[in-house]
Structure 1
Amino acid sequence: MNIKSLLYVLLCGLLFTTPVIAADIATVLSPDGQISFRLFVENHQLYCHASFRNQPVLDNTPVVVSLDGKTLTRDITTGSIKTYTINERYPWLGVHATAVNHCNGVTIPVQHAVAAYTIEVRVFNNGVAFRTIIPGKPEQHRVPDEATVFAIPAGSTLWYHDMEIHYESVHAKKDIAQVQAGEWAAPPATFKLPWGGYASITEADLRNYAGMSLQADGKNGLMIRLPQHQPTSYPYRLRYSAEDTARLKQPAAVTGTITTPWRVVMMGADLGAMVNNDMVHNLCPPPDAALFPQGFKTSWVKPGRAVWKYLDGGGDGTPEVMKKFTDGAAALGFEHNILEGFWSRWSDADIRDLVNYSRQKGVGIWFWKHSKSLRDPKARDSFFRRCHDLGVAGAKIDFFDHEAKEVIDLYQAILKEAAQYKILLDFHGANKPTGQLRTWPNELTLESVKGMESSRLLDRATHETTIPFTRLLAGPAEYTVLHFGERRKNTTWAHQIASAAIVSSPLLTYAAHPENILANPAVEIIKSIPSVWDETIVLPGSAIGELAAFARRKGNTWFVAVMNGVSERSLKISLSFLGKGNYKALVALDDPGNPAAVIMQQEMYKQGDAIILPLQSGGGYIMKLEQ
């Protein structure tokens, strides 16, 4: 059907297209009717527009997709639109125990002189997503590119960081009009709209394609940029050859059918809606039942807490020292012990001895490995086979630092082969998550954040109150939480303890030496903080870069965790989320006279009680509530 024809689509009263102007293609509504996504043509160019509660979230946004240098999203005609609805729930490892996948979708056939293709759109109650599918024969090798410019409404505030350190930089906060042309923004790029709502731009289900970054156009827009247009990060330049850098700067060809990742705009009226957004993983396929017969409940998929000998002393990397770290993990009730590369100097007998010793204490052993050594399929198979045969639980794979398709393909190969050998994964020096945890439940976490390893980060208070609402919206981050020493910079002990309950991950690695955790007055609270949650509530008063206050539930136990930024403030916390009856509370709060100390209290609370909490600069608070 020609795009100048009027098209009506009806989805059981939920999804419909209205003929606003002759050039409209489709308007797709969310199941609750509050979000609208419109596709239309203007001056021969394809555009989209998104609104939430009748307020713009994306102004008119040119959708630009090209193939072998020829633009596919100009001078198009469209065919008969097909509609569908998804309404499902599935188990999840993260901010809540059950993910909700409810959306209205359309597939739109598009005809262009160069190629016929399909645009697919899904609109959820908390955002919109779209992708392009270009059919191809198995022997075809074609180069896709994109230059869609997400048009952010004037008056919005953007939190973003550049790509120089890849995903390990510090966010800036600017009015969108102040973001200069050419500046880079690593997804997810979170912005607050003039009317008070929030949105964040990222991508989902990145496979067989290059990863995107965003570049400002100086006109309130953020443009999709694939790796051939991106600057090569400093970590990649540092660790790889000039030949590697030059090769990955070349546009990548895709064989056969080209399916772009989903272009995702999460939306929410408040920060709680953003933190609880399931869109990124909803857009990925479920796991292969042959590899994960019970999904996340598959016996060898074991989320949990980890000790790590790297940032807080602990002696040489010997088997005997690592047995002491296993002892510390067991005393804390932690499930994992992550070893850096020193393990490679040990004999198989030493490794087996440590693995067996740790297994008896309920602790799994993880090995660090450089990703470059896994590029060769034989070497990759040899490594994972050896881990399996030695009884190693997981692998920490490091130094990816690039969005090139070659690197994305390596991720997928590692995920698949690790799953075949029942090995869990922690990706470091990594790209942003794109929801692959749903497809590959062994991908417990990715770093892709400036974490506790960064000793030069002076303002950790602002950083740690920013990332829960920016980077973590894409998926879990391996921040390596909680340090009682100098690395905590301008934060208090209570702030650091609270970080373990806020900057959470299915693999929650602690930076502090286990002996220092065990000696801390708050050890009983720390030992009880889980790595995954049944429910998460972002408390009123939370603000990006200023305050992160969460109430989180695991089973019948609630935690209230607060991290403050640099400004002193008073916070009122309502306990209205509690169930009926009285709750015993164990509290860790700041010592006003000593940031390297914590005061422990025991209290009794009930539903409807309120706490008035004074917070010092960089301060914190954590409370465990149980009946």
Structure 2
Amino acid sequence: MKPLVCSVALVFASFADAQGLQSPDGTLQVKVAPGPAGSIHYSISRSGVPVIQSSTLGLEFAGLNLSKKLSLGAASPITSVAERYTMATGKRRVIDYAANEQTFTVHNARGQAMDVVFRVSNDGVAFRYELGQVPSSAGKMLQESTSFAFAPSTRAWLQPMQVAQTGWMNTNPAYEEHYRMDIAVGTPSPLAAGWVFPALFKAGETWVALTEAGMDGSFHASRLQAASKGGIYRIGTPMAAEVAPGGALLAQAATGLRTPWRVLAIGSLATIMDSTLGTDLAAPAIAFDTAKVLPGHAAWSWGLLKDDATVYGVQKDFIDYAADMRWNYVLVDADWDRKIGYEKIAELASYAAAKDVGLFLWYNSSGSWNKTEYTPKGKLLTHAQREHEFSRLAAMGIKGIKVDFFAGDGQSMIAYYLGILNDAARHGLLVNFHGATLPRGWARTYPNLMTAEAVKGLEFTTFEQRDQDAMPAHAAMLPFARNLFDPMDFTPMVFGDVPNIRRATRNGFELALPVLFLSGVQNFAEIPAGMASVPAYVKTFLQELPRSWDDSRFIDGVPGKYLMLARKAGERWYVAGINAQVTAQTFTVDLSFLEGKHGALITDGAGERAFSQQEISAGKAVITIKPHGGFVAIFK
């Protein structure tokens, strides 16, 4: 049988070479060709219609230029890639990835070589650079020439990248801005640092989501540059301050260096929303005790009660609250070491364990790179420090850590993130990053990474009314970009009052968010007093809400306006929707894939804080969502 398989593979490769590099279903096509002045360009089409116009490739280091005066050598044969992997968090548990791969070798005038590896799947294109033998003088990276050229009619949904060393206590960048939605390509970023990943575009009938994946700590994290004249977006680099003290900002040239994958999910909006390319292109999982990979829900006092609640008595009450809600965790936030102390935290951990609840503890990641004073601070900076601290936490029975206030995206800072993840994994600890970078597929590589903030989350809506007022559209944008591939700790859901703030959303909207937002640990902002105000059927829904999903399906939506998704856990499907618009919207929803199941719908009642419950049928369902309202439906 083996010779037959080889023969089939050779026939396939020969046929694919004749057709050029394209997706397995033939829908996406990639061309790589010489460009002006010795540049190398690529372009992407969908069903023959250009999506990414001729765009540049290349890298430049201090002593090695692989972006100009290049020649394109012979391309490798096209080979097929097929992987199956599992995820504890995300859109689906078991994921199959299939793509066609081809390597293009380029040489500069000195004969120095670099490979550009392209992969094309049915839902997108990815490519990365791989260095061959490099001279010792190659040095640090100066710039990347990668660009993404869109037609002038293309529209964009983009989040500005925060400028380093700005914001509260110099804690930016933290990916905490509102999106600029449905803007013309070429619109410059209002912030000099550029635009963050993922970046969403609509070119005619085709949607494109740009991001990167596969960061192993040897490379910095990237973004799009602020200027994009003519609709040409270029890869940008971190700002000078985005480093660990004394650490490197940009990658260093080295023989065999691989950049992260530049990832473009491409297709209909449904194709983009159902895509898993952000983890498909990430490295396989490290060794970690699967029994300790426990996604879940958490009670959290700080969201509404802030600093004064981080005391022993309140945290004990929240453990009781979590137990009553059948939630897995309690997150004890900043200054627990000063206000509660290690010995009393150990007591709380023991008390929680008796109620089948685990504790997450907050840490300040920072050394000298910002002005924050919250503690514990500076205890995770080195491997030796982490070994000491994580051993202590594991002995206390602590389940996870929330680490806050990182400096940005420089290579040394990315290595710091991975140092924390690897050391935490050795001690069986789960991780939540805050004030942090986009995870870029790390949830696949590090099963102990449950979630990361990297979003203008609920906490901002408790500070200023303007952020609360922007909440409906912001929440309706996030699953299309920030939460598209990576877990997101937005800390959703408030049914009661927000101190000194007038809530902008109805309760149905809030109830839908834990289904719409993907997070390995969903840290709920609602406190016991607010939960006590909801009907019994809402409380039951939250007690039984799955901790992870087996499958997901996009139903309908427009970024920033409305969204409906379905997620599967076991034999049940959960359908959720939100309306960010100021008028009620009626939708005819195709739920025929749920035929034979009985549904119960929870949505908004007569008042802004009221709920209602009713039966819902599979097939063609008519659902009206109130302004800034939402719904959830459970099909059994």
Residues 61, 80 of structure 1: CA spacing in aligned structure 2 closer, same or farther, 3 A cutoff? closer
Asked if 1:89 corresponds to 2:76, the answer is no
- SS at the partner of 2:262? strand
Asked if 1:46 corresponds to 2:47, the answer is no
| Corresponding residue to 2:515 among 501, 505, 508 | 501
- Contact kept, 8 Å, 2:186 with 2:232, in 1: the verdict is no
Aligned equivalents of 2:398, 2:633: Cα separation in 1:
35
Asked if 1:199 corresponds to 2:208, the answer is yes
- Contact kept, 8 Å, 2:509 with 2:631, in 1: the verdict is yes
Within 5 A, what are the aligned runs for 1:220-299?
A: 220-227=231-238, 230=239, 251-254=250-253, 257-270=256-269, 272-288=270-286, 291-292=287-288, 298-299=290-291
Match of 1:369 in 2: 363
| Corresponding residue to 1:530 among 537, 540, 546 | 546
Aligned equivalents of 2:228, 2:575: Cα separation in 1:
41
Residues 574, 158 of structure 1: CA spacing in aligned structure 2 closer, same or farther, 3 A cutoff? same
| Corresponding residue to 1:454 among 442, 453, 460 | 460
Match of 1:3 in 2: none
Match of 1:400 in 2: 406
Q: 1:530: how far off?
A: 2.1
- Contact kept, 8 Å, 1:141 with 1:254, in 2: the verdict is yes
| Corresponding residue to 2:429 among 414, 417, 423 | 423
Q: 1:326: how far off?
A: 1.1
Instruction: State the one-letter code of the partner of 2:524.
Output: Y
- Contact kept, 8 Å, 2:115 with 2:131, in 1: the verdict is yes
- SS at the partner of 1:369? strand
Instruction: State the one-letter code of the partner of 1:603.
Output: E
Aligned equivalents of 1:262, 1:313: Cα separation in 2:
41
- SS at the partner of 1:558? strand
Aligned equivalents of 2:492, 2:221: Cα separation in 1:
27
Aligned equivalents of 1:138, 1:383: Cα separation in 2:
41
**Structure 1 length as normaliser, TM-score?**
0.88
Aligned equivalents of 1:589, 1:404: Cα separation in 2:
45
Instruction: State the one-letter code of the partner of 1:156.
Output: T
Asked if 1:468 corresponds to 2:466, the answer is no
Q: Deviations over 1:429-470 (max 9, x none)?
A: 111121111111001111101110113312111101111101
| Corresponding residue to 1:104 among 100, 105, 111 | 100
Instruction: State the one-letter code of the partner of 1:386.
Output: R
- Contact kept, 8 Å, 2:57 with 2:67, in 1: the verdict is yes
- SS at the partner of 2:359? strand
- Contact kept, 8 Å, 2:72 with 2:104, in 1: the verdict is no
- Contact kept, 8 Å, 1:574 with 1:611, in 2: the verdict is yes
| Corresponding residue to 1:146 among 123, 137, 144 | 144
- SS at the partner of 1:190? strand
Within 5 A, what are the aligned runs for 1:612-623?
A: 612-623=622-633
| Corresponding residue to 1:589 among 572, 596, 603 | 603
Q: Deviations over 1:400-432 (max 9, x none)?
A: 141101100001111110111110000001111
Instruction: State the one-letter code of the partner of 1:217.
Output: S
Asked if 1:12 corresponds to 2:12, the answer is yes
Q: Deviations over 1:461-518 (max 9, x none)?
A: 1101111101112311110010122367321111011111101211111111144224
Asked if 1:130 corresponds to 2:130, the answer is no
| More deviation, 259-268/523-532 | 523-532
| More deviation, 274-283/245-254 | 245-254
- Contact kept, 8 Å, 1:140 with 1:256, in 2: the verdict is no
Residues 69, 358 of structure 1: CA spacing in aligned structure 2 closer, same or farther, 3 A cutoff? same
Match of 1:323 in 2: 316
| Corresponding residue to 1:219 among 211, 224, 230 | 230
Residues 401, 454 of structure 1: CA spacing in aligned structure 2 closer, same or farther, 3 A cutoff? farther
- Contact kept, 8 Å, 1:163 with 1:231, in 2: the verdict is no
Q: Deviations over 1:299-325 (max 9, x none)?
A: 111111111111222863222321211
Aligned equivalents of 1:33, 1:488: Cα separation in 2:
52
- SS at the partner of 1:465? helix
Aligned equivalents of 1:466, 1:118: Cα separation in 2:
36
Match of 2:62 in 1: 68
- Contact kept, 8 Å, 1:115 with 1:134, in 2: the verdict is no
Match of 2:444 in 1: 438
Match of 2:298 in 1: 306
Instruction: State the one-letter code of the partner of 1:403.
Output: D
| Corresponding residue to 2:579 among 557, 564, 585 | 564
Match of 1:546 in 2: 561
Residues 510, 35 of structure 1: CA spacing in aligned structure 2 closer, same or farther, 3 A cutoff? same
Q: Deviations over 1:312-368 (max 9, x none)?
A: 228632223212111111111111111112321344432222111111211111111
- Contact kept, 8 Å, 2:587 with 2:622, in 1: the verdict is yes
Match of 1:603 in 2: 615
- Contact kept, 8 Å, 2:194 with 2:236, in 1: the verdict is no
Aligned equivalents of 2:332, 2:409: Cα separation in 1:
27
Q: 1:526: how far off?
A: 2.2
- Contact kept, 8 Å, 1:211 with 1:408, in 2: the verdict is yes
Within 5 A, what are the aligned runs for 1:16-31?
A: 16-17=16-17, 27-31=20-24
Aligned equivalents of 2:253, 2:415: Cα separation in 1:
11
- Contact kept, 8 Å, 1:589 with 1:598, in 2: the verdict is yes
| Corresponding residue to 1:78 among 50, 73, 87 | 73
Q: 1:177: how far off?
A: 4.0
Q: Which runs of 5+ in 1 are unaligned?
A: 1-8, 20-26, 237-243
- Contact kept, 8 Å, 2:185 with 2:228, in 1: the verdict is no
- SS at the partner of 2:582? coil
Q: 1:111: how far off?
A: 2.6
Instruction: State the one-letter code of the partner of 1:187.
Output: F
- SS at the partner of 1:307? strand
Give the superposed CA RMSD: 2.5
- Contact kept, 8 Å, 1:96 with 1:276, in 2: the verdict is no
Aligned equivalents of 1:108, 1:11: Cα separation in 2:
21
- Contact kept, 8 Å, 1:155 with 1:175, in 2: the verdict is no
Aligned equivalents of 1:14, 1:579: Cα separation in 2:
44
Match of 1:239 in 2: none
Match of 1:389 in 2: 395
Aligned equivalents of 1:226, 1:418: Cα separation in 2:
28
Asked if 1:575 corresponds to 2:587, the answer is no
Q: 1:169: how far off?
A: 0.5
- Contact kept, 8 Å, 2:152 with 2:230, in 1: the verdict is no
- Contact kept, 8 Å, 2:244 with 2:407, in 1: the verdict is no
Match of 1:189 in 2: 199
Aligned equivalents of 2:599, 2:230: Cα separation in 1:
54
Q: 1:376: how far off?
A: 2.3
Residues 150, 547 of structure 1: CA spacing in aligned structure 2 closer, same or farther, 3 A cutoff? same
State the identity as a percent.
26
- SS at the partner of 2:589? strand
- Contact kept, 8 Å, 1:460 with 1:489, in 2: the verdict is no
- SS at the partner of 2:458? coil
| Corresponding residue to 1:343 among 336, 341, 349 | 336
- SS at the partner of 1:483? coil
Instruction: State the one-letter code of the partner of 2:572.
Output: T
Match of 2:179 in 1: 171
Match of 1:35 in 2: 28
Match of 2:524 in 1: 510
Residues 560, 103 of structure 1: CA spacing in aligned structure 2 closer, same or farther, 3 A cutoff? same
Instruction: State the one-letter code of the partner of 1:377.
Output: H
- SS at the partner of 1:48? strand
